[in-house]
Amino acid sequence: MDFGRFEEACKARGTTPTAVMLALGMSRSNVTKWRRGETKPKLDALEKIAEYLGVTVDYLTGKDDQKEKPVEDDGPNTLEEAREILRQRGIRVLLDAEAKDFTPEQIKQIVNFILFTDEQSEK
């Protein structure tokens, strides 16, 4: 992993490498080992980190400069659509349409994050 890219992706999301590790249920000591180059993350860890940060594994490893993971076109474009997708999966969350005007891309990212978090809690 290119640790600089990992830090950059964390910063772009308003978080830190240690916070990401804790959120994903991984050992925070890995951050120090990765920073020092003592070890490298396994593929499954890279995939979880990339998914959490909304970037590609290839970006984290330095193989590709495309940072952002492509947003799926078939995702929700409105908060109402987002509520329905989550409701169908048995997930109840409060999405206040008057709290902020979200762009369709932001709505997709919110839903993807909620679904990712739900999948991680099932493991």
Q: Which CATH number does the domain housing residue 21 bear? A: 1.10.260.40
- Could you tell me the residue range of the domain that residue 88 belongs to? 79-122
Q: Name the H helices within the chain.
A: 3-12, 17-23, 29-36, 43-53, 57-61, 79-88, 104-122
- pLDDT at residue 71 greater than cutoff 60: no
Give tens-digit pLDDT for 4-62: 999 999 988 888 999 999 888 888 888 889 999 999 999 999 999 998 888 889 999 98
Q: Average pLDDT in the 84-99 region?
A: 70
pLDDT (0 to 100) of residue 123: 57
pTM above 0.85? no
Same domain, 52 and 84: no
Please say whether the beta carbons of 57 and 50 come within 8 A. Answer: yes
Structural domain total, the chain: 2
Burial-class residue 21 by CB neighbours within 10 Å (0-12, 13-18, 19+): buried
- pLDDT at residue 74 greater than cutoff 70: no
Within-domain flag for 17: yes
Q: Report which listed range, 43-47, 71-75, 82-86, 118-122, is most confident.
A: 43-47
Same domain, 9 and 53: yes
Same domain, 38 and 83: no
Beta carbons within 8 Å of 28's beta carbon, 6+ residues apart: 18, 21, 22
Within-domain flag for 67: no
Between CA 87 and CA 92 the distance in angstroms is 6
Within-domain flag for 93: yes
Burial-class residue 49 by CB neighbours within 10 Å (0-12, 13-18, 19+): buried
Look at residue 78 and give its three-state secondary structure: coil
Q: Within the chain, what is the greatest distance between any pair of CA atoms?
A: 48
